[in-house]
Amino acid sequence: MPIAARPLDVAADLLALLRDTTTEPRPDEQLEALTLAVAADLPVLLWGEPGIGKTAALTQLAEELDLPLTTVIASVHEPSDFSGLPVIGDDPAVQGVPMAPPDWAVRLVRAGRGLLFLDELSTAPPAVQAALLRLVLERRIGALTLPPGVRIVAAANPRSSAADGWELSAPLANRFVHLQWVCDPEVVARGLGGVWPRAVLPTLDPDRLTGAVAFARRAVCGILAARPALAHQLPNSEARRGGPWPSPRSWEMALRLTAFATASGVRREVLSMLVRGVVGDGPGLELLASLDRLDLPDPETLLADPASAVLPERGDLRQAVLDGVVDAVRRRPGRSRWDAAWAVLVLALDTGAPDLVVVPAATLAALRRDDWELPASIERLAGAVSLTRRADRAGARVGR
């Protein structure tokens, strides 16, 4: 006679079926930002409400990257668990008192690789947060140093929804890439159906590494040279100090993230999440604007060969390019350069909104010397400018 299955065995079978899920490649900005920061070997802090899926995302990330996951609940540990426990040796006067690391740190060092998940960081008291400083920045735990193959990710709830929550200390907050983890109903619905988005490390192009580093250095150094006050700005309020803010350390992190994003070709939205997550919203947006300007074509290149010019699609960037071309002619006027600028404006008229050409065309016309003949293409531009101005006047009358 077959032995009847025990009730809990049947329950275990059902639980196994419920856990049987798969993954698929699907665009997910916050997951892409997380994987790029992990690839760049920067500590990441996921901020989100309880139950939103931070722990599940880290578990899935560890599985996809084939990294052993070590979870440490920061709030239930003592400071000595991270700084090391003093162990008395045979002769302390000669050998000193070594600081013994916890068992989980020893396992990570033996494995040589892994994902260290520091959970519930916002419920850790200030003394524990202070002990975490060396772990997060220097990767030191007692007498051990975590190997390069170990990545560090933390998670925290906002103080308003954390159990006995604390504000994050400024020194600890400034060591993390802060990512806001939000709930995407579409991801949740498809995931509960058995298919979650796949966490994949960004693919770095070996041929772009040198150029990516040079581009990132030029962008970050350029904005700090133009805005030296952004080099270090400690926020006034305690709450804001617990988030991202600019410092030499966080700008170095922004530089690294920009280089990795450039070498991998990730979307600008992903890079925006990352740089704002290290230097804050204001400085981060200024850095992104600086990156956009660095991506613009050189006005001198456009004037040298207007027939091969490729203009940006985005309106504000196209306007900046056209203004730059006209300004280049103003700074070094010449008949051939003046004619080439008109050719660039005609290209802009043919490939984009005509209103973007109005101001550059008027400025370029004012640069004409008496002995310069008008190019034939100016008739097309004159018609577009006239039509745009009439439309503006008509709109103004309707507005009254």
The pLDDT score that the predictor gives to residue 243 is 93
Provide the strand spans (E) within 101-245.
Answer: 113-119, 140-141, 144-145, 149-156, 177-180, 195-197
Burial (CB count within 10 angstroms: exposed 0-12, middle 13-18, buried 19+), residue 106? middle
Distance CA 384, CA 352 (A): 12
Q: What is the dihedral of CA 205, 211, 213, 215, to 10 degrees?
A: -120
Distance CA 166, CA 104 (A): 25
The pLDDT score that the predictor gives to residue 387 is 45
User: Which residues in the chain come in under a pLDDT of 70?
Assistant: 1-5, 88-97, 159-165, 382-400
Locate 198 and state its tokens: 């796949």
Count of beta carbons in the 10 Å neighbourhood of residue 248: 11
Give per-residue pLDDT as tens, 54-79: 888 888 889 888 899 999 998 888 88
Whether 153 contacts 115, CB under 8 Å: yes
Count of beta carbons in the 10 Å neighbourhood of residue 26: 13
Beta-bridged to residue 22, according to DSSP, are 195
Give per-residue pLDDT as tens, 321-364: 888 899 999 999 999 998 899 889 888 888 888 888 888 888 88
The full length of the chain comes to: 400
Whether 309 contacts 340, CB under 8 Å: no
DSSP string over 38-61: HHTT--EEEE--TTSSHHHHHHHH
Distance CA 348, CA 319 (A): 9
Amino acid at 320: A
Helices (H), 164-267: 170-173, 185-192, 209-226, 238-241, 248-264
The pLDDT score that the predictor gives to residue 397 is 47
> Look-up: residue for tokens 């070594």?
98
Whether 243 contacts 236, CB under 8 Å: no
Locate 201 and state its tokens: 């490390």
Any residues with CB less than 8 A from the CB of 338 and at least 6 apart, and which?
A: 329, 364, 367, 368, 372
Q: Is the dihedral of CA 243, 246, 251, 254 positive or negative?
A: positive
Distance CA 124, CA 78 (A): 9
